[in-house]
């Protein structure tokens, strides 16, 4: 199988499940470690059958929130309700969930069969039912025939599938995945994430996954919860998070984004150097420093730069680098007026029309519907 070429992030367009029943309600949950606040008044509802990703950089609070849901970490304030039952003070063993860790956490001295059967035996399920359930789960994760193997004889991807089968063995109402794919290489990770998503959809089990990988979240989740510094920045579908980021942080964390220093003008305009640029409506005061954010794939380039070079309101740039990335070419341009740089992703089928070369002067069009204005400096993590 040939290596995959780098390409723009694909955003899942699957609609959020039309579930109307809340599976898990998180109400005002905070967690403090001494003077450090890891979670700050988190409020969130997760519906039955949803696949929700907690996404954010290291230290944003996503793992702490997952551990709080599992009862492995006790919240300092707030309430958790699962299917109408207050679980805020319940120990982990009294909560209805299965969990898969990044490190697999399989018992090395037990066979695959016994690892999967472990939770069932603790619940004193009869032997015939255990045999049937283990066979059913191993078939679900494509590991039939591996019953007698020990974890050391399995690949990382196979071990993670055993961990997934073990978490599902007791038929939990909630499946918790703590960065389950981050220890795997890129090819195995891509294959396994599609398997996990298909399995979750087939079983209909409510699932929460913690990840710092934006591509995982965009391709797997029904909804994404973007977190930073212990608070929720935005909750939405992958398409909404990608195309309508609610803050500069979300815009910078999800996918590639250009941020240009501008001056806010009227409600739908900003000034880039001396060039007016149309943008989506904003609330930044006229004359205030701001950032204009636009995705590289939304930037349009043309060969009209020479004619437009001295025309008022025209925006042009000089090509300073070109990267071939398979499905598209990433072009970095220098804006001569204020020496800022701008990245444009040009589909390979269109790049030949531009005859791209370093030093080339190109006209730049920034579509208003793809340009958002944020306060200056707000994209910093």
* 212 and 296 assigned to the same domain: no
Enumerate residue ranges in the chain where pLDDT < 70. 1-19, 305-314, 337, 379-381
* 192 and 212 assigned to the same domain: yes
* 167 and 277 assigned to the same domain: no
Identify the CATH number of the domain in which residue 135 sits.
3.40.50.300
Look at residue 269 in the predicted model and tell me its pLDDT.
Answer: 94
Residue 12 lies in a domain: no
Look at residue 341 in the predicted model and tell me its pLDDT.
Answer: 96
Residue 10 lies in a domain: no
* 91 and 55 assigned to the same domain: yes
Residue 186 lies in a domain: yes
Residue 261 lies in a domain: yes
Helix, strand, coil share (%) of the chain residues, nearest 5: 30, 30, 40
Contact yes or no for 254/218 (Cβ under 8 A): yes
Instruction: Return left, alpha or beta for 277; rule: phi > 0 is left, psi -120 to 50 is alpha, else beta.
Output: beta
Look at residue 14 in the predicted model and tell me its pLDDT.
Answer: 47
* 246 and 266 assigned to the same domain: no
* 163 and 271 assigned to the same domain: no
* 39 and 150 assigned to the same domain: yes
- How many other β-carbons are positioned within 10 Å of the β-carbon of residue 104? 21
* 224 and 270 assigned to the same domain: no
Residue 5 lies in a domain: no
Look at residue 304 in the predicted model and tell me its pLDDT.
Answer: 76
* 219 and 236 assigned to the same domain: yes
* 96 and 65 assigned to the same domain: yes
Domain that holds residue 229: 22-250
Which of 250, 266, 291 is the endpoint of a domain? 250
Which of 217, 250, 283 is the endpoint of a domain? 250
Instruction: Return left, alpha or beta for 145; rule: phi > 0 is left, psi -120 to 50 is alpha, else beta.
Output: left
Which of 211, 232, 250 is the endpoint of a domain? 250
Q: What is the pTM of this model?
A: 0.88
Instruction: Convert the pLDDT of each residue in 156-194 to its tens digit.
Output: 999 999 999 999 999 999 999 999 888 788 888 888 888
Identify the CATH number of the domain in which residue 290 sits.
2.40.50.100
E strand spans, 34-160? 36-47, 51-55, 77-82, 85-86, 97-100
* 277 and 215 assigned to the same domain: no
Look at residue 349 in the predicted model and tell me its pLDDT.
Answer: 84
Residue 11 lies in a domain: no
Residue 1 lies in a domain: no
Contact yes or no for 223/235 (Cβ under 8 A): yes
How many domains in the chain? 2
* 232 and 267 assigned to the same domain: no
Structure tokens at 48: 């039955």
Residue 13 lies in a domain: no
3-state SS, residue 96: coil
């Amino acid at each position: 199988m040939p290596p995959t070429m780098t390409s723009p992030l694909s955003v899942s367009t699957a609609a959020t499940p039309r579930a109307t029943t809340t599976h898990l309600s998180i109400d005002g949950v905070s967690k403090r470690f001494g003077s450090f606040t890891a979670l700050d008044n988190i409020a969130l509802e997760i519906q039955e059958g949803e696949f929700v990703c907690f996404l954010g950089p290291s230290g944003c609070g996503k793992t702490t929130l997952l551990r709080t849901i599992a009862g492995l970490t006790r919240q300092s304030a707030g309430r958790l309700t699962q299917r109408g039952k207050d679980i805020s003070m319940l120990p982990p063993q009294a909560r209805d969930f299965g969990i898969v860790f990044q490190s697999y956490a399989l018992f090395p001295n037990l066979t695959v069969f016994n690892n999967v059967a472990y939770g069932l035996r603790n619940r004193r399920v009869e032997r015939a039912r255990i045999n049937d359930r283990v066979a059913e789960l191993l078939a679900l994760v494509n590991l039939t025939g591996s019953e007698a193997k020990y974890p050391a004889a399995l690949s990382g991807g196979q071990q993670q599938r055993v961990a997934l089968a073990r978490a599902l063995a007791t038929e939990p109402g909630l499946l918790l995945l703590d960065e389950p794919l981050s220890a795997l290489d890129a090819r195995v990770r891509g294959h396994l994430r599609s398997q996990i998503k298909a399995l979750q959809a087939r079983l209909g089990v409510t699932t929460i996954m913690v990840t710092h990988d934006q591509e995982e979240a965009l391709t797997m989740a029904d909804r994404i919860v973007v977190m930073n510094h212990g608070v929720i920045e935005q909750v939405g579908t992958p398409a909404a998070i990608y195309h309508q980021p609610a803050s500069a942080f979300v815009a910078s964390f999800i996918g590639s984004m250009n941020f240009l220093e501008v001056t806010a003008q009227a409600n739908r305009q900003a000034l880039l150097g001396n060039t007016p640029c149309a943008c989506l409506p904003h609330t930044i005061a006229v004359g205030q420093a701001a950032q204009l954010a636009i995705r590289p794939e939304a930037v349009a380039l043309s060969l009209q730069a020479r004619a437009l070079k001295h025309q008022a309101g025209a925006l042009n740039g000089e090509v300073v680098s070109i990267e071939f990335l398979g499905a598209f070419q990433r072009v970095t341009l220098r804006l001569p007026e204020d020496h800022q740089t701008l990245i444009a992703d040009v589909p390979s089928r269109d790049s030949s029309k531009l005859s791209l070369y370093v030093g080339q002067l190109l006209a730049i069009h920034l579509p208003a519907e793809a340009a958002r204005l944020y306060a200056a400096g707000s994209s910093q993590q």
